[in-house]
Structure 1
Amino acid sequence: MKSGGCWRCKVEMESGLPVSRNEGHGVLKDGSWFAQFRNGSNPWMARYVYAVMFLASNLLAWAVRDYGRKAFPEMEKLKNCQGGHGCLGAEGVLRVSLGCFAFFFVMFLSTARTERMYNCRDSWHSGWWSAKIALWIALTVIAFLVPTIIVQIYGEIAHFGAGVFLLVQLVSVISFITWLNDYCQSDKLSEKCRIHVMSLATAAYVICVVGIIMMYIWYAPEPSCLLNIFFITWTLVLIQLMMSVSLHPKVNAGILTPGVMGLYVVFICWCAIRSEPAGENCIRKAEESNRTDWLTIISFVIALLAMVIATFSTGIDSQCFQFRKKEAPAEDAVPYGYGFFHFVFATGAMYFAMLLIGWNTHHTIKKWTIDVGWTSTWVRIVNEWLAVCVYLWMLLAPMIRSRFRQTSEVA
Structure 2
Amino acid sequence: MERHAQSVEARAVDMRPSNSEVPQEQVPGQLEGKSTDYKQEKRKSLRARFIYGIIFLIINLKAWFFRDYGQKVLAQFSYIKACGPEGQDCCHTLGVLRVSLGCFIFFCVMLVTTIKTRKLYEARSTWHSGWWSLKFFLLIVSMAVSFFFPSKYIQIYGEVARIGAGIFLVLQLVSVIEFITWWNNYWMPDKEMKESCSLGLFTSKIFYVASVCGIGLMYFFYGRSLKCSLNIYFITWTAILLTVMMAISLHSKVNRGLLSSGIMASYLVFLCWSAIRSEPVNDQCNKQNQADGNSDWTTILSFLIAICAIVMATFSTGIDSQSFQFRKDKVQQEDDIPYDYGFFHLVFALGAMYFAMLFISWNLNNSARKWSIDVGWTSTWVKIVNEWFAATIYLWKLISPVVREPKVMDLEGSNAAEG
**TM norm structure 1:** 0.89
SS in 2 for 1:204: helix
Paired with 2:163 and 2:391, the residues of 1 have a C-alpha distance of: 21
Query: Are the equivalent residues in 2 in contact too, given 1:26–1:44 (CA < 8 A)?
Result: no
- The equivalent residue for 2:352 is 349
Shift of 1:72: 1.4
Whether 1:334 aligns to 2:346 is no
Q: Give the secondary structure class of the aligned counterpart of 2:182.
A: helix
Of 307, 311, 316, the residue aligned with 1:313 is 316
Tell me the equivalent position of 1:65: 67
Specify the SS of the correspondent of 2:227: coil
What is the 5 A alignment of 1:164-203? 164-187=167-190, 190-203=193-206
- The CA deviation string for residues 337-387 of structure 1, in whole angstroms up to 9 with x for no partner, is 000000000000000000000011112210000000100000000000000
Conserved 8 A contact 1:200-1:256: yes
Cα distance in 2 between the residues matched to 1:355 and 1:52: 19
* Deviation per residue, 1:114-169 (Å, 9 max, x gap): 00111210000000000001101110010001111211111011001001111111
The aligned amino acid for 1:28 is: Q
Q: What is residue 383 of structure 1 aligned with on the other side?
A: 386
**1:290 Cα deviation after fit:** 3.2
2:6 corresponding residue in structure 1: none
RMSD: 1.8
Q: 1:12: which partner in 2?
A: none
Cα distance in structure 1, aligned partners of 2:360 and 2:35: 43
Report the Cα distance in structure 1 between the residues aligned to 2:331 and 2:187, rounded to whole angstroms.
24
Paired with 1:313 and 1:79, the residues of 2 have a C-alpha distance of 39
* Structure-2 residue corresponding to 1:81: 83
Distance 1:149 1:113 in 2: 34
Change (3 A) 1:305 1:25: farther
Q: Distance in 1 between matches of 2:406 and 2:327?
A: 21
What residue number does 1:3 align with? none
Instruction: Report the equivalent of 2:11.
Output: none
CA spacing shift, 1:388–1:373, aligned 2, 3 Å: same
Corresponding position of 2:149: 146
Counterpart residue number, 1:264:
267
Superposition map of 1:6-405 within 5 A: 27-28=39-40, 42-83=44-85, 84-187=87-190, 190-288=193-291, 290-405=293-408
Q: Structure 1, residues 44-75: CA drift from partner, whole Å, max 9, x if none?
A: 00001101110111011000000001221212
Query: What is the TM-score with the length of structure 2 in the denominator?
Result: 0.87
**What is the distance in 1 between the residues matched to 2:139 and 2:402?**
48
Match of 1:18 in 2: none
Residues 41 and 127, structure 1, Cα contact 8 Å, conserved in 2: no
Q: Deviations over 1:262-300 (max 9, x none)?
A: 110000001100000112111124333633211111110
Identify if the C-alpha distance between structure 1 residues 26 and 235 changes in structure 2 by more than 3 Å, giving closer, same or farther.
farther
Cα offset, 1:249, TM superposition: 0.6
Could you tell me how far apart the structure 1 residues matched to 2:294 and 2:35 are? 52
Change in CA separation of 1:151 and 1:331 when aligned onto 2, cut-off 3 Å = same
Q: Distance in 2 between matches of 1:68 and 1:305?
A: 22
Pick closer, same or farther for the CA change 1:219–1:76 going to 2, 3 Å: farther
C-alpha distance in structure 2 between counterparts of 1:128 and 1:65, whole Å: 31
Separation in 1, partners of 2:75, 2:35: 51
> Take 1:144 and 1:276, find their aligned partners in 2: how far apart are those partners?
32
CA distance in 2, matches of 1:189, 1:276: 48
Corresponding residue number in structure 2 for 1:10: none
Other structure's SS at 1:195 match: helix
AA at the equivalent of 1:71: V
Query: Could you tell me how far apart the structure 2 residues matched to 1:158 and 1:311 are?
Result: 16
Task: Classify the secondary structure of the residue corresponding to 2:90.
Answer: coil
Change in Cα spacing, 1:287 to 1:94, as seen in structure 2 (3 Å) is: same
Q: Which amino acid aligns with 2:282?
A: G
Separation in 2, partners of 1:206, 1:289:
35
Cα gap change, 1:351 to 1:26, in 2 (>3 Å): farther
Distance 1:244 1:49, change over 3 A: same
- Name whichever of 332-341 and 394-403 sits farther off: 394-403
- Contact 2:188–2:200 at 8 Å: present in 1 too? no
8 Å CA contact 1:26–1:43 kept in 2: the answer is no
SS of match in other structure, 1:324: coil
Structure 2: gaps spanning 5 or more residues? 1-33, 415-419
Cα deviations across residues 198-221 of structure 1 (Å, max 9, x unaligned)? 221111111111111111111112
* Cα distance in 2, alignment partners of residues 26 and 372 from structure 1: 46
> Which consecutive aligned stretches of 4+ in structure 1 deviate over 6 angstroms post-superposition?
none
Percent identity among equivalent residues?
Answer: 49
**What is the identity, as a one-letter code, of the residue corresponding to 1:165?**
F
Q: CA contact under 8 A between 1:278 and 1:290: conserved in structure 2? A: no
Q: Which has the higher contact order (CA 8 A, sep 6+)?
A: 1
Q: d(CA) in 1 for partners of 2:192 and 2:39?
A: 31
Q: Mean Cα displacement is larger for which, 348-357 or 146-155?
A: 146-155
CA contact (8 A) 2:64 2:96 kept: yes
Deviations 1:4-36 (A, max 9, x none): xxxxxxxxxxxxxxxxxx98578417xxxxxxx
Q: Is the 8 A contact 2:117 2:125 kept in 1?
A: yes
